[in-house]
A and B are shown apart, each in its own frame.
Chain A
């Protein structure tokens, strides 16, 4: 029983990290109707920047510098890409983010190097054993993951409040609905997009720091983005709490499938389990657990 709970806990922790990346997706989609495929590349870029900056300067400074860089990226994306594709089909914008992905995947390593870099956030690396009196041998948990979970939770709470309660949040939701309509009521599209991509960039930075600290900063971070897509499908494209719930479900589901199904049908299930789960959802409930239903009028 103890080991099952450990697997679940491990899955929950991984899930929280997926959610951090998925959060970036949801923000941009919620506020501009664009599905940002380059979120993973942004995580990598932010992590690389932070890792290299912190080699030569104290961490808070490195953090600020990296955050500034992500804001600059947001400006660049808005000016070079989004502004030129106003009111195009959603699929065109989605494909444009592919272009951004390739660009960042080249730019990041070019600016900051190809090697694997370490991020040391000063977090405790050794796992702790807890609840020794409830379970035999106690449960092994990772303090690092726990801190990550708390950080993610705080971010989510803050962002959810922001979208619901503030005027800017309302403007962001209007833009997601209809670019031209939002413009016609005086919402400054360009500024909104810069804001949203900056916030998303900031979330990517936090995600990058945590993932980087755990795995080391390397190219495979980009692949995490591919995992985050099913998370968003499960949670709903427009739901911030959905990103968290979806991430947890995927994280736990993956781990359980790998540990318990793996030996039966061969390992490596983790590669496609999330997608199969997403596929099921797409057929049964495409708007996800918390998303909004989209109705086509004839």
Chain B
């Protein structure tokens, strides 16, 4: 067991039982011009589980998340979310269905404070109109304060109270990643997509992030799909794993099964195809 996992095994919250399939991807194929990013990929994600997507660089992992998100539209294949077939949908529509995500290269709003960034995560729940906002006192103020209270809970959860008014662009990398997680959580999503949440972090920061991910899954029951390169983290916090290589699925199952799969080992060691 890795050092990270040893610590986390001690503090992990009791998780809910894993439920039914919440997201199903069937025969997804995605191409950009001449490049085949994803080829005939099928897998599913069950409610309340932590599903990891792993694979060498360029395997198509981020593209997979972008497809789930609605940023990319696959040329072939079907997506089922919460039991219903999903038609070609724009990202903001997908967000309204309860999907939130973080990004590989941090997509925070650098000109705004931490608090404002988290508040943008609540955008879909803010209903007052322009005229009410122009007046502010009254309906808009009540709405702002209610959402502020909720956002403060997330700030407590992520332990970022001291930086809530700081402009995000000035924060160190590790904290920015945490704020991005906060913004995703602010939307109270059913499905959370995390794109390399631990990239570029040292051991301590990874421990913290692992703890947060496990807590989100344990306390709020959020289903998590996670792209990650650190094998120790993947093997120890995920319930099931999907392995991609050159846009194809080469492994799918429990962490230990995948770890011993010859095809997966070959992909990582770079055996000639």
Contact = CB atoms under 8 A, between A and B. Distances in A.
Interface of A: 298
Nearest to A295: B32
A287 to B, nearest CB: 16
Contacts of A298: 66, 71, 103, 107
B213 to A, nearest CB: 22
4 contacts: A298-B66, A298-B71, A298-B103, A298-B107
A298 B66 CA distance: 9
Interface of B: 66, 71, 103, 107
B1 to A, nearest CB: 35
Contacts of B107: 298
Contacts of B103: 298
Contacts of B66: 298
A163 B180 CA distance: 44
A298 B193 CA distance: 15
A298 B107 CA distance: 9
B104 to A, nearest CB: 9
Nearest to B66: A298
A38 B49 CA distance: 60
A92 to B, nearest CB: 15
A298 B67 CA distance: 12
A298 B195 CA distance: 12
Q: Which 4 A-B pairs have the closest CB atoms?
A: A298-B71, A298-B66, A298-B103, A298-B107
Nearest to A297: B105
Nearest to B63: A298
Contacts of B71: 298
B92 to A, nearest CB: 14
A17 B207 CA distance: 66
B71 to A, nearest CB: 6
A40 B35 CA distance: 43
A298 B63 CA distance: 10
A46 B103 CA distance: 51
A274 to B, nearest CB: 33
A298 B103 CA distance: 8
B37 to A, nearest CB: 12
A298 B106 CA distance: 10
A298 B37 CA distance: 15
Nearest to A298: B71
A242 B107 CA distance: 36
A138 B216 CA distance: 84
B80 to A, nearest CB: 23
A135 B93 CA distance: 64
A63 B71 CA distance: 56
B9 to A, nearest CB: 35
A276 to B, nearest CB: 30
A298 B64 CA distance: 13
A298 B72 CA distance: 10
A99 B138 CA distance: 46
Nearest to B104: A298
A297 to B, nearest CB: 9
A125 B71 CA distance: 61
A298 B71 CA distance: 9
A209 B227 CA distance: 62
A298 to B, nearest CB: 6
A296 to B, nearest CB: 11
Nearest to B65: A298
